[in-house]
Chain A
Amino acid sequence: MSGCEGPQSVFRTGGSDAAQLEHLFLVMLAGAVVLWLGINGLFYYASRVSARPVSRARVEALILGGGVGLPVVVLTALLVYGLSIMPDQRAPGDGLRLRVTGEQFWWRVEYWPEGAEAPVVSANEVRLPVGRRTEIELAATDVIHSFWLPALGGKTDLIPGRVNRMSLEPTEVGTWRGQCAEFCGLSHALMAFQAITLEEAEFGAWLAREAQGLAPEARTAEGYAIFTAQGCGGCHALRGTEARGTVGPDLTHVGGRATLAAGILPMTADALTDWIRDPAAFKPGVEMPGYDHMDPDELATLALWLEGLR
């Protein structure tokens, strides 16, 4: 059963919504097993144990009872049970709101604490407070995507031109993995993300740090000069600086994330170097151009500097 473990499994739940879905699955499975045994048992009985003609009245009762009555009763019971848990799955959040926008092939993540007038912008990682229900608005700018965090809840599509809503209530601290679950192009399978669930106080401290702009000491480093000279700010934002691009992920605290390039590379200086040199080698169809013309030492300095942006 090791396939059922791990950070991306519907059988290793870390939230109330996912636990409810797991329960739903087990109820359905038990029902299917009972039906399978019953039908095959009847087949066996009629063909092996007691293979003889039966009266017309008995056959009619069996057809009407087993073919019409029983399915209606079973399906009605399952429908009522399934519908009765839907309000919980769609309950409104109790404060924090996230807005996740699907891009080819990464996630734009905005945190809107209660009463906020501007969001705290991040990417490719969602952090959620344990014990609170967080509302998540889902949008897309290019094509259809789907936000799926099996350990915390069901999947919901991101559709250009509309805002879908879901809410999640993590119950356990941990690091989970999510995945785009609707084919969105060449690198759809490489569009993943991390979800980190934190105790509420810890989450609050993290969000306060995340809300800050680029640290003053980072601005005087050589890496910042290279970042500026290479024109990275045309696509990426470093809050509090001239770099205000919104085409790619916000990089203000990029080194603080657990993964690089939407869940596919570790957040290390080496991985950053390889990625910047040739992103398409890791993610076919990615919009970011390769920077293989850069001096290797400069590239390494830039990567090390980015990795240090916590």
Chain B
Amino acid sequence: MTARRHSAGGEQEFAEERASLVRITFGPLIWAMHFLLSYAGAAVFCAKFPHASEHLDLLVWGIGLATLVALAGIAWQGQRSFHQWRKGNEDSLIEEDADGSSEDRHQFLGHAALLLAVISAVGVIYTALPAFLTATCR
């Protein structure tokens, strides 16, 4: 028998679930902002200094810093989602209980948010790799 945290039901439960529904978008949102910042930053930089290889370090370090910040945000979001998913669901790595209770829905949202955080982290790293491996405006 799993614990029922939402025994109060009603308004409070709805508000809490709405918050966790919004939270599952955080990972992809951070990924999107990092992507926009990296590509727009590189485009503007290379348009302003097309031949300035000595300034290129600035761009690479800027993207590196943005990547660290983005990964930290995603990691924070990921571990919150992990706890939301695992609490009362310790026996399986893949599936939450499927009783259709509000607690199951809560766990499901945590699981979805965690998976989105993982793919967002991979996306952020792949977005940043060209800056470090090619590092040219050509």
Contact = CB atoms under 8 A, between A and B. Distances in A.
Interface string B117-138: 0100010011001100111101
B130 A83 contact: yes
A297 B74 CA distance: 80
B44 interface: no
Contact of A79 (B93, B118, B129): B129
B122 A83 contact: no
A59 B93 CA distance: 10
A87 B129 contact: no
A72 interface: yes
B129 A72 contact: no
Interface stretch (A60-68, A108-116, A211-219, A242-250): A60-68
Contact of B92 (A60, A72, A79, A86): A60
Contacts of A61: 93
B126 A87 contact: no
A60 B129 CA distance: 30
B94 interface: yes
Nearest to B134: A86
B138 A92 contact: yes
Interface size range on A against B = 10 to 19
Interface string A87-128: 100101000000000000000000000000000000000000
B17 to A, nearest CB: 27
Contacts of A84: 133
A252 to B, nearest CB: 33
B118 A87 contact: no
Contacts of B134: 83, 86-87, 90
Interface size range on B against A = 10 to 19
A86 B129 CA distance: 12
A60 B133 contact: no
A80 B133 contact: yes
Contacts of B118: 68
B138 to A, nearest CB: 5
Contacts of A64: 93-94
A52 interface: no
A66 to B, nearest CB: 13
A60 B130 contact: no
Contacts of B129: 79-80, 83
Interface string A144-166: 00000000000000000000010
Contacts of A90: 134, 136, 138
A106 to B, nearest CB: 27
Nearest to B126: A79
16 contacts: A56-B92, A60-B93, A61-B93, A64-B93, A79-B126, A79-B129, A80-B129, A83-B129, A83-B133, A83-B134, A84-B133, A86-B130, A87-B133, A87-B134, A90-B134, A90-B136
Interface of A: 56-57, 59-61, 63-64, 68, 72, 76, 79-80, 83-84, 86-87, 90, 92, 165
- What 3 A-B pairs are tightest by C-beta distance, nearest first? A83-B133, A60-B93, A90-B138
